[in-house]
Amino acid sequence: MRPLKIKASSYPVSSSNFEGLQEMTDTEIEQYYSATLLKDFSDNTDGTGTGELNVTTDGSGAGTTIGTVTDTKRNDAVGTHPTAGATTNVNVYTAKQVNGAASESITNRPLGYESSGTIGIHEFTDAELDTDILDKVLGDLVAQGNYVTGQYSLAASAPAGGTWTSRYTIVDTQVDETKQTMYIWQKTAATTAAVDNYKPCKLDGTSVKEMSVAEIEQIVPNMRNRITDSTIGTYALQSGAPASGTWVQQGDAGGFTDTRHEVGSQTYEGNYSGNYTGGYTGAKTYAGSYSGDYTGAYTGNYVGTSGYAGNYTGDYSGTYAADYDGYAGTAYAGDYAGTYTGYYVGAKTYTGYYSGDYAGTYAGDYVGTSAYSGTYTGTYTGYFAGDTVLTSEETVSTVKLWLKTAA
């Protein structure tokens, strides 16, 4: 059954242009009935009425929870090293939709024409009001046409079309207190004004008259309860659409994202001067004091009085003490080949392998993986030991606002 309106050759209706009664089309219901009911719904929203949304940081709002989102941040500032990566929950936002029954009180009911059963014009019952008018109104709500208001949206800025009022704020906070803010908006003024020519009719004694705006608004509590009963016009705040029914995302495509600075290894490149202890692998030139065991090929002048043991090949000039078959006391000069043990003083070039403790200044390439302990000055490229709070950000969680449009 459809609501009836007065048909006239022109408007406003008068006795001279009255042409009878006519069933309202879907378009006419949207352009006046839906527009009027939903405008009252959006004008009288404070987060406590049936069908309305509310968002709190302490969970104290009325209704059933439709989702939560947590705003987190790092405890340590960007660049902190080392860091344990600890985080703090700045706020936990709880979104709810009120589903308590609204008090219904209709003194003037719309008229409709029944074409079957009890044929004729009669007032809508509560059941007929739900299925034949209010389900159409909720369909207009979720379709979000130009004539209706009341729908919610999650976005950084007001959506286009009509007037949108910011109802609630959700914030993503960083450690430096910079914030990315999202809002839950509600449409409070239609893109296109309602058409006054399409007012429904009522019985007034034995007469048929147009319903006033106040009389139409008496049906708003019934509409609020119909949201709860049919679930069309209910919302969810979560990452993906709920499984049951048809849901359409409302607002920015990316929804609300909680982010925080990443923690990880930080590449460091620059001049480093200080004590370094650890393994060294490479062929860099090392200049400085080295103290320790050295094993390898050594080429250079040897000056000292330490005992030398090894194969010596070269000219030997000096006092030779041994069994000599010749003239006693005569100095020996000539080439000597053999093993020599004793003290060597001079600045001759020694080529060969040297094994032992070496103390002094060494300049040259060092190749190996042994631990090096000492003072290093130069350019160092590598990783800090331990984690650092990085400038890059990671996504912790994402939620979107979903509207149920069909069961």
Give me the sign of the Cα torsion angle 349, 350, 351, 354: negative
Euclidean distance between CA atoms 219 and 216, whole angstroms: 6
Euclidean distance between CA atoms 317 and 298, whole angstroms: 24
Q: What is the pTM for the complete model shown?
A: 0.73
Single out the residue of 331, 297, 330, 334 nearest to residue 314, CA to CA.
Answer: 334
Helix (H) or strand (E) holding 243: none
- pLDDT at residue number 181: 96
Query: Which tens digits make up the pLDDT trace of 186-210?
Result: 999 999 999 988 999 999 988 899 9
- pLDDT at residue number 341: 61
- pLDDT at residue number 13: 81
- pLDDT at residue number 117: 81
Torsion of CA 352, 356, 357, 358, to 10 degrees: 0
Residues in the chain: 407
- pLDDT at residue number 324: 47
Residues of the chain with pLDDT under 50: 324
Torsion of CA 254, 257, 260, 265, to 10 degrees: -40
349 secondary structure, DSSP code: E
Which residue ranges make up each domain of the chain? 4-265+393-406, 279-373
Helix (H) or strand (E) holding 71: strand 64-74
- pLDDT at residue number 282: 58
